[in-house]
Amino acid sequence: MAMRKKGSHKILYSIFGWTVVLLISFPLLWMILTSLKPQSELFLIPPGLLPNEITFEHYVRLIQETPFLTYLKNSIILAVGTTVVVVVIATLGAHSLVRFSYPGRKSLAVLVLYTYLLPSVVLIIPLYLLMVKVGLSNTLVSLIIAYTTFALPFALWLLRSFMAAIPADLEAAAMVDGATRMQAFFDVILPQAIPGIISTALFTAILAWNEYLFAMVLINNDEVRPLTTGIMSMLVSSFNIEWSLLMAASVMMSVPLIIVFAFLQKYLTRGFGAGAIKG
Amino acid sequence: MTDTSLGIHIECVSKSFDDVLAVDTLDLEIRKGEFVSILGPSGCGKTTLLRMLAGLEQPSKGTISIDGAVVNDLPPSKRNIAMVFQTYALYPHMTVAANIEYPLKKRRTPKADRTRLVHEVAAVLQLEQLLQRKPRELSGGQQQRVALGRALVRDPAVFLLDEPLSNLDAKLRAHMRAELILLHRRIGRTMVYVTHDQLEAMTMSDRIAVLCDGTLQQFEAPNDIYSRPRNKFVAGFIGTPSMNLIEGRLSGTGDDRVFRSGDWTLPIRDLALTGETANGIQDVPVTVGFRPEDILLGDTGDEARVTVVEPAGHEVIVVCRFHGHDILLRVSPDIRLRPDDRVRLTPKVDKLHVFSEPDGRRINDDLPK
């Protein structure tokens, strides 16, 4: 009896779970399906779920006739650049916050969190003016710096909880064994922090990949536009929306993220855990 | 005696963290090749002292020298010391072999020598079968041996051991204790062993440094510490079950000298006292101590009521109510006592320890130099 009850519970949970998954993933599914439909099927009434005829013409047009590849390149540079800058600074910073003792260490950690609480909107205009002043406006570097302002505090806090979980004795042992502090960090601490570093890198890369607001305000040149604003500006105008191309571009924009996710998913969930419990 | 410049010299060393004084003007001289335990309750500063020897903490004051050279400003890597941590601190991402090899790598030992030394140490510690395992795949005792191996492999001048046995179960602990003694005898290196377990300190050490609240209480051979504790703290801390300590007053001189506590009067004319008390100052506050095994049970003496009987196989620990004090008694299991039995007992006067109050200093018999 109890067993059967348990079994039926399981089925109910599964039905509920899959319903939620379907609801959430429907727009994504629709995006993929639309990108594969020929132009003629787009506005059929009633709309068909599956395309009658599958076509890749939109993808070909996207790559051959639009600056999509330039945008893609820019987005990759942005994501990788921001991730490298943020992860390097956050790893060293988190280690310092956890292991060293110096005046103001705790208040520094809290201050960093406060900057994260600041809405990005209030930073945009000052940052824009700053970039113009130092001659970095309309460059990818300006965006990397801008993304770092909001990605770094979060990364620092995430890594801080990972670093705190690494026993201090390990570093001490390495130093007694003959390592300098830097060697101890690279030989012993870094390998222990790899899961944390990977999940922090993922969070940062996703933030940079999806960022829209800063890219719109700080970049005014097609050569350095990332995918987010690039797709919008080339396919959405006041008169016309190129739905097929837009959907194809959206699919292409999601694919890199999905691939990265598939490989590193286990680290990401571990990162969520660390943030939730110890952060 | 060996050359006095060799070994470890700790002079007037203090260490404070913010407002807390962890180690207070400590002097300690450890001879080369000696096995010294630093013993004390939790928070007495013993681990801080060890970490200062290792170079992981900087003394706030004073100097530390190893083999004649002041090492205060040397980083841990330059001190030629090895340390075994309470948590073992094995590098989790490295194999056993890589763990043991790590200190050699940092010293740029050639690869061929490294491999040979790792295998030699592994043979000594019976780790050969485990060399390719990761630390998490080992039992506590095996991890302990790897930690020892990592310390042994580079033949340091000094071994620092921070409660290395406290994470092992009782049986393994006894085994490792014996192994460590053998190891020390074989390699003859200076070992400084931090522990809160007096059994470990008593059984393994050449000398024990007893620490309390960051100050050195006594630094002598285990037997001397047991038979002539220098103060009340050491008297109460060393020995299981601990010494009976009873506060009272000392009065009279020569043959008339007695100890009084409440309605209990104990004549102690045979006791040799030192300092002013020897000159027969009337009525001074003291504490007398006697070990549970230094009590005569018989027809004479004052009456006591048995309250608790704790049989431990080879001996029985009996708690008695004696003139308003709970005192402990160690008797042979042949003497069958039950709660509420009446017994008559007298502490052996020649085994009595007398401490002055309120400073708790020992004031009887020959104080060791």
* Residue of B56, B150, B192 to mutate when probing chain A, most A C-beta within 10 A: B56
Bridge-based pairing state of the strands B158-162 and B81-84: parallel
Q: Which of B235, B251, B267 is the last residue of a domain?
A: B235
Residues of A in contact with B161 (CB under 8 A): none
Residues B166, B37 within the same domain: yes
User: Residue A86: what residue type?
Assistant: V
Quote the minimal CA–CA distance from A184 to chain B in Å. Answer: 10
Q: What is the pLDDT of residue B229?
A: 93
Instruction: Using a CB–CB cutoff of 8 Å, tell me whether A177 touches chain B.
Output: yes
Per-residue burial over A101-131, b = 16 or more CB atoms within 10 Å of its CB, e = otherwise: eeeeeeeebeebeeeeeeeeeebbeebbeeb
Domain parsing of chain A, residue ranges: 58-278
Q: Which of B206, B235, B264 is the last residue of a domain?
A: B235
Q: What is the mean pLDDT of chain B?
A: 89
Residues B351, B266 within the same domain: yes
Quote the minimal CA–CA distance from A177 to chain B in Å. Answer: 5
pLDDT above 90: percentage of residues in chain B: 57
A58-278: CATH topology is: MetI-like fold (1.10.3720)
Instruction: Using a CB–CB cutoff of 8 Å, tell me whether A170 touches chain B.
Output: yes
Indicate which CATH number applies to the domain containing B335. Answer: 2.40.50.140
Q: Is B369 part of a structural domain of the chain?
A: no
Structural domains counted in chain B:
2
**From the list B76, B107, B150, which residue is nearest A175 (CB)?**
B76
**From the list A167, A170, A179, which residue is nearest B106 (CB)?**
A179
CA–CA distance, A113 with B171 (Å, rounded to integer): 50
CB atoms within 10 A of CB B33: 15
Q: What is the pLDDT of residue A275?
A: 43
**Cβ neighbours of residue B253 under 8 Å, at least 6 residues apart?**
B279, B280
Instruction: Supply A234's token pair.
Output: 């080339």
Cβ separation A169–B54 shorter than 8 A: no
Pair B162, B194: CB distance under 8 Å:
yes
For chain A of 279 residues, list the mean pLDDT of each consecutive stretch of 10. 68 93 91 86 77 86 89 94 96 91 84 82 88 90 91 90 90 93 92 89 91 90 90 80 87 88 75 44
CA–CA distance, A6 with A15 (Å, rounded to integer): 14
Q: What is the pLDDT of residue B252?
A: 79
Instruction: Supply B300's token pair.
Output: 């004479």
Q: What is the pLDDT of residues B338-369, one digit of tens each?
A: 899 899 999 988 888 999 888 888 888 654 43
Q: What is the pLDDT of residues B49-83, one digit of tens each?
A: 999 999 999 999 999 999 888 999 999 988 989 99
Instruction: Using a CB–CB cutoff of 8 Å, tell me whether A183 touches chain B.
Output: yes
The structure's pTM equals 0.80
* A residues 186-215 lying closer than 8 A (beta carbon) to B: 187-188, 191-192
**From the list B56, B106, B150, which residue is nearest A172 (CB)?**
B56
Structural domain including B42 reads: 8-235
Residues B302, B334 within the same domain: yes
Residues B200, B264 within the same domain: no
Q: Is B259 part of a structural domain of the chain?
A: yes
Q: Which of B193, B219, B235 is the last residue of a domain?
A: B235
Could you say which residues of chain B have pLDDT below 50? 1-2, 367-369
Residues B131, B210 within the same domain: yes
